[in-house]
């Protein structure tokens, strides 16, 4: 599935370029009035640590504008968030990769409907210590050789002979993170395929701090964590066959930073959306102007206008399920959401 997703992200650039909400007017919800009373039940959100800074910022602005909404935001990891979502413990699960078939099946078995909402773009960034002056870029093949479970790479010189003969210290998020799943499936072509001697950390900032303190370390994290720590770590351009590409707002939005560009998601309980006014209001708020501001101020990449409008239309149609269930290679994400938004209430 992730290989197909890479094609989707890249294909978006062919039709909409790197226009990120700058051309024409975005489709918006009717601005909800500031509600000064909500059901006492809290609005609960949990999941991806990558999506956490975005949703935390949106929740703070939402709570300010909607007293009594009581949003609670946590970051147990994408996989853990989906498990809580399945148990009915949260209203919204955040994810740094699309829902997996087994997760979708588990929800279907319990008759749990959900609305899938891309909220921003991110680029998984390869990071090294600032004193690392020998790596100017790495190919996806070199990354796979270094990171896969059967890797024979121990020293930097095992990657390229002109690199120093110094032992590499590998850092990764833990396996309940969507970033971990996306990286292993995209780079190593198999989910959970990762070298066993890798140091795994629950918190992305812990990975940043560890790499900042170790000259021969390497790791990966969401683009925003790199952006906010430019003074501590250095990003490595990635070559997927078309020359080295450095992650940036432009290269992530256009899909040029392939295959490590990816959309980030909210998965909203349809029951909560229908029965809790604060959940519906939060979704509308997140897809509005303030939500977009929070995405950018959190160092993420906003959705292109065409995709944003397709997502809004799908939410307005109350379309449930995932567009990734029958994803064809080369399909455009905007087309998938546009098609899905034409119906109403039909679970895919």
State yes or no: pLDDT of 9 exceeds 50: no
Cα distances (angstroms) measured from residue 271 to each of 94, 195, 280, 313, 318 = 17, 41, 10, 19, 11
The H or E element that residue 328 is part of is none
Q: Tell me, what's the pLDDT at 7?
A: 35
State yes or no: pLDDT of 18 exceeds 90: no
pLDDT in tens, 252-264: 988 899 999 989 9
Average pLDDT over residues 165-169: 98
State yes or no: pLDDT of 299 exceeds 50: yes
State yes or no: pLDDT of 150 exceeds 90: yes
Exposure string of 181-216, with b = 16+ CB inside 10 Å and e = fewer, is: bbbbbbbbeebebbbeebebbeebeebbbbbbebeb
| 8 A C-beta contact, residue 236 and residue 129 | no
Query: What are the structure tokens assigned to 258, written together?
Result: 């392939």
- 317 vs 329, residue with greater confidence: 317
pLDDT in tens, 323-346: 887 655 445 677 777 665 554 444
Q: Where are the domains of the chain?
A: 2-122+260-340, 124-247
Task: Give 2-122+260-340's CATH code, choosing from 3.90.45.10, 3.40.190.10, 3.40.50.300, 3.40.50.2300.
Answer: 3.40.190.10
State yes or no: pLDDT of 86 exceeds 90: yes
State yes or no: pLDDT of 174 exceeds 90: yes
Task: Give 124-247's CATH code, choosing from 3.40.50.10860, 3.30.360.10, 3.40.190.10, 3.30.420.40.
Answer: 3.40.190.10
State yes or no: pLDDT of 165 exceeds 70: yes
| Residue 90 banded pLDDT, cuts 50, 70, 90 | very high
Least confident range from 66-70, 119-123, 266-270, 308-312: namely 66-70
H helices within the chain, ranges in order? 2-16, 52-65, 78-86, 101-109, 140-147, 178-187, 204-212, 223-227, 249-254, 270-275, 277-286, 289-297, 305-316, 333-340
Q: CATH topology of 2-122+260-340 equal to that of 124-247?
A: yes
């Amino acid at each position: 599935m992730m290989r197909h997703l890479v094609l989707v992200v890249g294909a978006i650039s062919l039709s909409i370029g790197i226009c990120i909400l700058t051309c024409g007017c975005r489709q918006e919800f009717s601005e909800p009035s500031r509600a000064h009373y909500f059901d006492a039940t809290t609005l609960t959100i949990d999941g991806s640590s990558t999506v956490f800074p975005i949703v935390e910022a949106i929740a703070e602005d939402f709570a300010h504008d909607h007293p009594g909404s009581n949003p609670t935001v946590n970051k147990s990891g994408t996989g853990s968030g989906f498990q809580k979502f399945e148990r009915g413990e949260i209203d919204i699960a955040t994810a740094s990769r699309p829902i997996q078939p087994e997760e979708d099946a588990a929800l279907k078995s319990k008759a749990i409907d959900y609305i899938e909402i891309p909220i921003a773009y991110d680029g998984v960034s390869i990071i090294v210590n600032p004193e690392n002056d020998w790596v100017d870029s790495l190919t996806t093949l070199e990354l796979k050789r270094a990171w896969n479970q059967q890797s024979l790479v121990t020293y930097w010189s095992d990657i390229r002979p002109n690199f120093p003969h110094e032992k590499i210290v590998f850092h990764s998020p833990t396996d309940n993170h969507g970033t971990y799943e996306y990286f292993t499936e995209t780079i190593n072509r198999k989910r959970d395929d990762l070298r066993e001697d890798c140091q795994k950390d629950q918190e992305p900032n812990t990975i940043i701090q560890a790499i900042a303190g170790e000259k021969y370390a390497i790791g990966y994290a969401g683009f925003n964590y790199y952006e906010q720590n430019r003074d501590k770590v250095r990003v490595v351009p990635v070559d997927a066959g078309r020359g080295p590409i450095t992650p940036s707002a432009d290269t992530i939005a256009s899909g040029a930073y392939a295959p490590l560009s990816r959309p980030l998601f909210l998965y909203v309980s349809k029951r909560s959306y229908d029965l809790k006014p604060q959940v519906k209001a939060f979704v509308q708020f997140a897809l509005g102007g303030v939500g977009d501001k929070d995405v950018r101020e959190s160092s993420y990449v906003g959705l292109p206008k065409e995709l944003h409008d397709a997502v809004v239309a799908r939410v307005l149609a109350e379309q449930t399920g995932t567009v990734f269930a029958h994803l064809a290679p080369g399909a455009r994400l905007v087309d998938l959401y546009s098609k899905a938004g034409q119906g109403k209430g039909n679970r895919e």
